[in-house]
Amino acid sequence: MGLDIETDYCYQNIDRIVGKAKTLGNFVRIDMEGTPHTQRTLDIFFRLRQKYDNVGIVVQAYLYRTEKDVRDLNKVKAKIRICKGAYKEPPDLAIQKMKNIRANFIKLSELAFKEGVNPAIATHDDRLIKWTKEYAAGNKIANANFEFQYLYGIRNKTFRKLAEEGYRVRCYVPFGTHWLPYFMRRMRERKENVFFIIKNLFKK
């Protein structure tokens, strides 16, 4: 979208996409890259949110800053997608231990459920899926008011079962001619990403 070229140039490109999507009745969610792009991505989102109601944003549970970001996003009724985070980030910016990332994911999800709008729970983690189902049931949150999201090809049977149980499920499919460089870049960013793909290919 041109964020590394110039922020306003990127904003104009996304503005055209979101504006066109609005005329077609579609929704656009802005993905999140590594921390050098986090604040600028959020700045662009908040500008777009002033004009459009069909735009959402992704937040990463492993970043220390994300709790404040979620609180700020909830104030403008942003539709957020919560994921763990896939990039290798320094310990002063990101939580390093998986058990602590999971704990923060749950904390952020609670904030999104209590104060936000239709949160998207983007995880292949059985413990987080189980927690989400139990939290929603225990707080009488209708299935229509949140959704699970996953990467195409990872745990397909698990998410098909969730759909059969009546949950909303959305599949994330990288699209375009540069899908292979995209995947290779994501795997190079963090060795855990390679282990994640291999492990989950053999899970149902």
Residues with catalytic function:
31, 81
Intra-chain end-to-end CA distance of the chain, in Å: 35
Query: How far out from the chain centre does Cα 156 lie?
Result: 18
Give a three-class secondary structure readout of 72-113.
Answer: HHHHCCCEEEEECCCCCCCCCCECCCHHHHHHHHHHHHHHHH
* Residue 72 to residue 47: CA distance in whole angstroms: 13
Query: In which element (H, E) is residue 134 found?
Result: helix 126-138
Q: What is the DSSP letter of 68?
A: H
* AA identity, residue 57: I
Orientation angle between helical segments 98-115 and 66-75, nearest 10 degrees: 10
